[in-house]
Homo-oligomer: A and B are copies of this chain.
Amino acid sequence: MDPAENEPTPMENKETDSYSMLEPRMKRVYAAFYKELYRTPERRALDPKVQELISVAVSLAVRCEGCLDGHLKKAIALGATREEISETLSISAAISAAAVVDLSDKAARRLGLRLFSTTEKQD
Contact = CB atoms under 8 A, between A and B. Distances in A.
Interface of A: 10, 16-30, 32-34, 36-37, 40, 43-46, 50-51, 53-55, 57-69, 71-73, 76, 81-111, 113-118, 120-123
A122 B60 contact: no
Given A20-B118, A58-B92, A62-B96, 12 more contacts: A20-B115, A21-B107, A24-B122, A46-B84, A50-B50, A62-B95, A64-B95, A65-B107, A66-B98, A66-B102, A67-B95, A72-B107
Contacts of A44: 87
B58 A10 contact: no
Nearest to A117: B20
Most buried by B among A34, A71, A86: A86
Contacts of A65: 102-103, 106-107, 110
Copies in the complex: 6
A54 B53 contact: yes
20 contacts: A18-B105, A20-B113, A21-B104, A21-B116, A22-B86, A26-B87, A29-B37, A30-B33, A33-B90, A33-B94, A37-B94, A51-B91, A54-B88, A57-B58, A60-B104, A65-B106, A69-B107, A86-B115, A94-B97, A97-B97
